[in-house]
Chain A
Amino acid sequence: EVQLVQSGAEVKKPGESLKISCKASGYSFTSYWIGWVRQMPGKGLEWMGIIYPGDSDTRYSPSFQGQVTISADKSISSAYLHWSSLKASDTAMFYCARLSRGVNDAFDIWGQGTMVTVSS
Chain B
Amino acid sequence: SSELTQDPAVSVALGQTVRITCQGDSLRSYYASWYQQKPGQAPILVIYGENNRPSGIPDRFSGSRSGNTASLTITGAQAEDEADYYCNSRDSSGNPLYVFGTGTKVTVL
Q: What residues of chain A lie closer than 8 Å to B52, measured between beta carbons?
A: 104
- Residues of A participating in the B interface, judged by any CB pair closer than 8 Å: 33, 35, 37, 44-47, 50, 59, 61-63, 95, 97, 99-101, 103-108, 110-113
Q: What residues of chain A lie closer than 8 Å to B31, measured between beta carbons?
A: 104-105
Q: Pick the contact of A61: B1, B33, B103 (CB < 8 A).
A: B1
Q: Min CB distance, A24 to chain B, in Å?
A: 15
The number of chain B residues touching the other chain, given as a range, is: 20 to 34
Given that A46-B100, A59-B95, A108-B54 are contacting pairs, would A95 and B42 also be in contact in the complex, using a CB cutoff of 8 Å? yes
**Are B43 and A110 closer than 8 Å at their CB atoms?**
yes
Q: What residues of chain B lie closer than 8 Å to A46, measured between beta carbons?
A: 100
Q: What residues of chain A lie closer than 8 Å to B84, measured between beta carbons?
A: 44
Q: Pick the contact of B33: A37, A106, A111, A113 (CB < 8 A).
A: A106
Q: What residues of chain A lie closer than 8 Å to B35, measured between beta carbons?
A: 45, 107
**Are A45 and B45 closer than 8 Å at their CB atoms?**
no
**Are A59 and B97 closer than 8 Å at their CB atoms?**
yes
**Are B44 and A110 closer than 8 Å at their CB atoms?**
yes
The docked-state distance in angstroms from the alpha carbon of A101 to that of B98 is 12
- Tell me if B15 is interfacial: C-beta within 8 Å of chain A: no
**Are A105 and B45 closer than 8 Å at their CB atoms?**
no
Residue of A whose beta carbon sits closest to that of B98: A47
Residue of B whose beta carbon sits closest to that of A49: B97
- Tell me if B61 is interfacial: C-beta within 8 Å of chain A: no
- 22 A-B pairs whose Cβ atoms sit less than 8 Å apart in the complex: A44-B84, A44-B100, A44-B101, A45-B43, A45-B88, A45-B103, A47-B99, A50-B97, A50-B98, A61-B1, A61-B97, A61-B99, A99-B98, A101-B96, A104-B33, A104-B49, A104-B52, A105-B33, A105-B90, A106-B88, A108-B45, A110-B42
